[in-house]
Amino acid sequence: MTDHDTTPHRPFGRALCAMVTPFTPDGAALDRDRAAALAAGLVARGCDGLVLNGTTGESPTTSDAEKRELIAAVRAAVGPSVPLVAGVGTADTAHTVALARQAEAAGADGLLVAPPYYSRPPQAALEAHFRRVADATGLPVMLYDIPGRTAVRIEPDTMARLAEHPRIVAVKDCAYDVLGTTGLLARTPLAVYSGCEELNLPLCALGGAGFVSTVANAAPAEVRAVVDAYDAGATAEAARLNGRLLALTELMTASGLPGAVTAKALVDAGPPREPLQPAGRDAVDGLRGALAELVSRR
């Protein structure tokens, strides 16, 4: 077991938003102007960095060209100092490598790489996949452990071996395995970012680096305030602020609707792209009511 500094390593900042991808009103094309405006607003309201082309960014239904254009548009909007992490995970190692190189050329600062989905590679093949991608560019890599979507877990032992690679520096943790995450933090220098809203605050107590939040699309300042209070030593206040987010968080992430759908019901980003469908009127009214209540209690 290796001892580490108790101050979390934060290679991409503390408060990251898993940004939606804005489309034109018919959903047919990327809306670069709205993407730029959304990104600039999120940074102005408290986001240290942005994750683009991820799950919430509807990466399965955006083209390679749209992924490149989104990174370029957001980079131009937020300037050089805001970390941009680009999702590049696909079911094909060669395609993932190509997207990684494209993201680097477009201005990304890091790569978010999920396991290849559907094929369910064993751990040795999974490790080889991540090493191939990490070797392909000069960018730091955030592994994306989300077995609920990929059908394969990045086992803690595999992550511990991957942590020896100089460019594999972080994990977006959506595995719902607090014991495994605790062991990972104890064994490796990897920065662990919560990818599940309900674990944003608990992972702070374990030594987590921060969060990658879908809720931050709609309430970036409120999500950021939780970890700011924790960092300041005000743990009771952090718990109170976290509790205030509960109603909105439940509706955005636990209502049976994907986060891309609920987030787009609350921000000016056009419709989701098929096969996703816009939220129904009742869901939209509930989401907007919860956000209005949260904002009114600032």
Q: How confident is the model at residue 201 (pLDDT cuts 50, 70, 90)?
A: very high
Q: Which two tokens stand for residue 66?
A: 């749209």
State percent of the chain over pLDDT 70: 97
The full set of domains in the chain, from first to last, is 15-297 (3.20.20.70)
The Cβ-side half-sphere exposure at 272, using a 13 Å CA radius, reads 24
Q: For residues 96 and 88, what is the distance between their CA atoms, to the nearest angstrom?
A: 6
Place of tokens 């064993």: 122
Q: Is the per-residue pLDDT at 6 higher than 50?
A: no
Q: Which two tokens stand for residue 78?
A: 């937020």
Q: Is the per-residue pLDDT at 1 higher than 60?
A: no
Q: Is the per-residue pLDDT at 4 higher than 70?
A: no
Q: Which residues are catalytic?
A: 144, 172
Place of tokens 């662990």: 192
Q: What average pLDDT is seen over the chain?
A: 95
Annotated binding-site positions for pyruvate: 56, 212
pLDDT of residue 297: 78
Residue 101 CB-density burial (10 A; 0-12 exposed, 13-18 middle, 19+ buried): middle
Query: For 35-45, how does the pLDDT look when each residue is reduced to its tens digit (9 = 90+)?
Result: 999 999 999 99
pLDDT of residue 296: 87
Query: For 160-198, how does the pLDDT look when each residue is reduced to its tens digit (9 = 90+)?
Result: 999 999 999 999 999 999 999 999 999 999 999 999 999
Q: Is the per-residue pLDDT at 7 higher than 90?
A: no
The residues, any chain, with a CB within 8 Å of residue 84's CB and separated by 6 or more, are 49, 50, 52, 71, 74, 75, 78, 107, 108, 109, 110
The residues, any chain, with a CB within 8 Å of residue 139's CB and separated by 6 or more, are 100, 103, 104, 108, 109, 110, 111, 167
Annotated binding-site positions: 56, 212
The pTM of the full predicted model, rounded to 2 decimals, is 0.95
Residue 114, classed as helix, strand or coil, is coil
Q: How confident is the model at residue 199 (pLDDT cuts 50, 70, 90)?
A: very high
